[in-house]
Amino acid sequence: TQLLEQSPQFLSIQEGENLTVYCNSSSVFSSLQWYRQEPGEGPVLLVTVVTGGEVKKLKRLTFQFGDARKDSSLHITAAQPGDTGLYLCAGGRNAGNMLTFGGGTRLMVKP
Amino acid sequence: DAEITQSPRHKITETGRQVTLACHQTWNHNNMFWYRQDLGHGLRLIHYSYGVHDTNKGEVSDGYSVSRSNTEDLPLTLESAASSQTSVYFCASSVQRINTEAFFGQGTRLTVV
Give the residue from A24, A17, A101, A79 showing the smallest Cα distance to B90. A101
pLDDT, position B100: 78
| Rounded CA separation A33/A47 (Å) | 6
Region label for B42, one of left (φ > 0), alpha (ψ between -120 and 50) or beta (otherwise): left
User: What are the φ/ψ torsions at residue B84 (nearest 5 degrees)?
Assistant: -70, -10
Q: Are A45 and B102 in contact (CB < 8 Å)? A: yes
The residue in chain B having the minimum alpha-carbon distance to the alpha carbon of residue A42 is B106
Task: Say which of A6, A30, A41 has its CB closest to residue B98.
Answer: A30
Q: What is the pLDDT of residues A31-90, one digit of tens each?
A: 999 999 998 899 999 999 999 999 999 999 999 999 999 999 999 999 999 999 999 999
- Closest-CA distance, B87 to chain A, in angstroms, reads 13
- pLDDT band at residue A3, thresholds of 50, 70 and 90? confident
- Strand ranges in chain B using DSSP code E only, listed in sequence order: 4-7, 10-13, 19-25, 31-38, 42-51, 54-57, 64-66, 76-78, 87-94, 102-104, 108-112
- Closest-CA residue of A relative to B107 is A42
Local confidence band at B41 (pLDDT 50, 70, 90 cut-offs): confident
Nearest residue to A75 (alpha-carbon basis) of A17, A2, A32: A17
